[in-house]
Amino acid sequence: MSLIAGCFRRLTETPAKTELKGYKVTDVNRTRKFGVACRSLQELKRKACAKLNVTNDLAEVNVFLLDGSLIDEEYFSTLEPQITLILQKPGEKVLTDADLLYDTLRRVNIDFLTAGDKASEFLTENLKAKVAVLNNALNKDDSKTALSNRDEHPEWFRGLDTNYTTKEAYMHRRCQDRIRGYLYKTIDQIKSSDTFSKDPRARKQLLYAIAFFKMQLKEDHYFGHYFDRSRTKIEALESRDELDSSSCYDHCPCRLNRLDGSTYFRLFGTMDHSCVDGGKKKEKDCKVDSKTEEEEDEENCPYTVKRKNRESCVALCDRNGEFRCNGVWNVEKCSYGERHRINPYRSREELVLFSTWNFDHKIERTRTLIPLLLNLSSHGIANEADIFEIYENLFTVKNLRLVHIVCHDKGTHK
Q: What is the pLDDT of residue 72?
A: 85
Q: What is the pLDDT of residue 30?
A: 84
Least Cα distance to 234 among 329, 318, 131 occurs for 318
Q: What is the pLDDT of residue 135?
A: 59
- Chain centroid to CA 153: 25
pTM for this one?
A: 0.70
Least Cα distance to 358 among 335, 331, 332, 326 occurs for 326
**Segment 36-49, tens digit of pLDDT:** 999 999 999 999 99
Q: What is the pLDDT of residue 195?
A: 96
| Spatial distance between the Cα atoms of 1 and 69, rounded to a whole number of angstroms | 41
Q: What is the pLDDT of residue 181?
A: 92
**What residues in the chain have per-residue pLDDT under 50?**
1-3, 7-17, 106, 108-116, 119, 236-237, 239-242, 245, 258-289
Q: What is the pLDDT of residue 101?
A: 59
Angle of helix 97-107 relative to helix 127-137, nearest 10 degrees, comes to 30
| Spatial distance between the Cα atoms of 331 and 292, rounded to a whole number of angstroms | 45
Q: What is the pLDDT of residue 174?
A: 93
Q: What is the pLDDT of residue 104?
A: 54
Least Cα distance to 69 among 55, 79, 81, 60 occurs for 79
Q: What is the pLDDT of residue 141?
A: 77
